[in-house]
Amino acid sequence: MTLLRRQLPLLITFVTGILFAAQYYIPHPASELMLTSVSKWLQIIAGFALILGVTSLFHIHAVKIRRKEPGWGYSFVLYAGMLGTIVIGLWHGGKETTDGVTTAFGWIYTFMMVPLQGTMFAILAFFIASAAYRSFRARSREAAVLLIAAVIVMMGRVPLGEHLIPISGDITQWILNVLNASVRRAILIGISLGAVALSLKIIFGVERAYLGGGKE
């Protein structure tokens, strides 16, 4: 049992980890072919895994409807929306248009999915405003610096701001290219080293929590 739960997964992780790390340094078409093949395997696995996901979704909402939990009506809407879309999608063979005419499936996508996604994305503008208001209140020295930098950058990024204060464009570029870029690169160096260290820990079996945690 330990062999299947621990040793075999660790061995597979080690071999594939070394193989795909080496792949980066091998330009030969065989290496590219291996990467392409494995990418296809991943797509196939992801396709089957989606069944797991959808099963989980159906199960959770079925329980909610059965127990009449608060908000069970939303679960009913989810069921109706999901099953309706699947049936209509299969009916039209997954096509959004047939001979230039929008199918019901295409209609659902264009007039329901896209506006709903657009609405969610549009809310971001209001959230940015509220988050900016909260963080730009100059309650501390750091917040004051943030406020000043933000005002300068905002002025430098809009034509009216640059028209009113011509130097704001240059200062903005300096803030972005020097201060911002250097901090960002420092963060990226830390992230890269962290990611490499974590990858090494996984490849060499030092980090095993992703297998189900704990020690043997």
- Interaction site with another protein (CB under 8 A): 21, 24-30, 32, 42, 45-46, 49-54, 56-57, 59-60, 63, 70-71, 74, 116-117, 120-121, 123-124, 127-128, 130-132, 134-135, 184, 187-202, 204, 206-207, 209-214
* Minimum distance of another protein from residue 169's CB (angstroms): 21
Comparing CB distances to another protein, the nearer of 160 and 209 is 209
Alpha helices in the chain (DSSP H): 2, 8-23, 29-67, 72-91, 104-108, 114-135, 141-157, 159-164, 168-174, 181-203
* Minimum distance of another protein from residue 207's CB (angstroms): 7
Comparing CB distances to another protein, the nearer of 57 and 171 is 57
CA distance 118 to 77: 20
How far out from the chain centre does Cα 175 lie?
28
Comparing CB distances to another protein, the nearer of 178 and 198 is 198
Give yes or no for a contact between 104 and 92, defined as CB atoms under 8 angstroms apart: yes
* Minimum distance of another protein from residue 93's CB (angstroms): 21
Comparing CB distances to another protein, the nearer of 30 and 160 is 30
CA distance 156 to 169: 4
